Amino acid sequence: MKTHENKTSMELPNVEGNHCFGCGPENNSGLKMKFFAEEDAVVSWLHVKKDFCGWSNLMHGGIISSILDEIMSWSAIYLLKKFILTKSIQVDFLKPLYVTDDLKAEGRVGERKSEREAVMNGFLYNKKGELCARSTGSFALIDSEAVRKFGIMDEDMFKSFEALIKHFSS
């Protein structure tokens, strides 16, 4: 358990060998996001490297979009207990974000449209707690059979994520 901003959170486990740009602990060029479950949301606190700037100290919009996609993805995996694929994402940039800021990303389920699709919402706050970017994404909810059929991940990664989803269900 972790306490941050007067909330108690449970850190979600990641999988070994994960090279994902957003959450992969093995990706030295990535964001290395960690995720924490809070009631009906998943959150992540992060500090983005200066290498990910756009204009000078302004955070690059593609990085902001990646953070929001990642928080929505992990929220869907944890809250809906499914493998997922992003179908579409819309990002609204509300206020500038700087690479020197400590950030809080938050993801929530917007709507479960069917057994195979959900709409997720993502929010990105600066160190003052101001909402600076928000997103809405459509996510395909896929079963183990489809993951194997489409070759989305290798067998070791598949088994690790399958165990993680089962862990979230218990």
DSSP 18-56: ---TTT-TT-TTS-----EEETTEEEEEEE--GGGBSST
Please, which pLDDT band fits residue 1 given cuts at 50, 70 and 90? very low
Instruction: List the CATH number of the domain containing 104.
Output: 3.10.129.10
Please, which pLDDT band fits residue 170 given cuts at 50, 70 and 90? confident
pLDDT for the residue numbered 53: 67
Interval 120-126 mean pLDDT: 98
> Between the ranges 24-28, 37-41, 132-136, where is the mean pLDDT highest?
132-136
* Percentage of residues of the chain with pLDDT beyond 70: 94
Q: How many domains does the chain have?
A: 1
pLDDT over threshold 70, residue 89: yes
Q: Which two tokens stand for residue 1?
A: 């358990």
Structural domain containing residue 33: 2-169
Interval 72-78 mean pLDDT: 94
pLDDT over threshold 80, residue 99: yes
Q: Where are the beta strands (DSSP E) in the chain?
A: 2-4, 7-11, 36-38, 41-47, 83-93, 102-114, 117-125, 131-142
pLDDT for the residue numbered 4: 52
Please, which pLDDT band fits residue 145 given cuts at 50, 70 and 90? confident
Q: pTM here?
A: 0.88
Helix (H) or strand (E) holding 163, with range, is helix 155-169
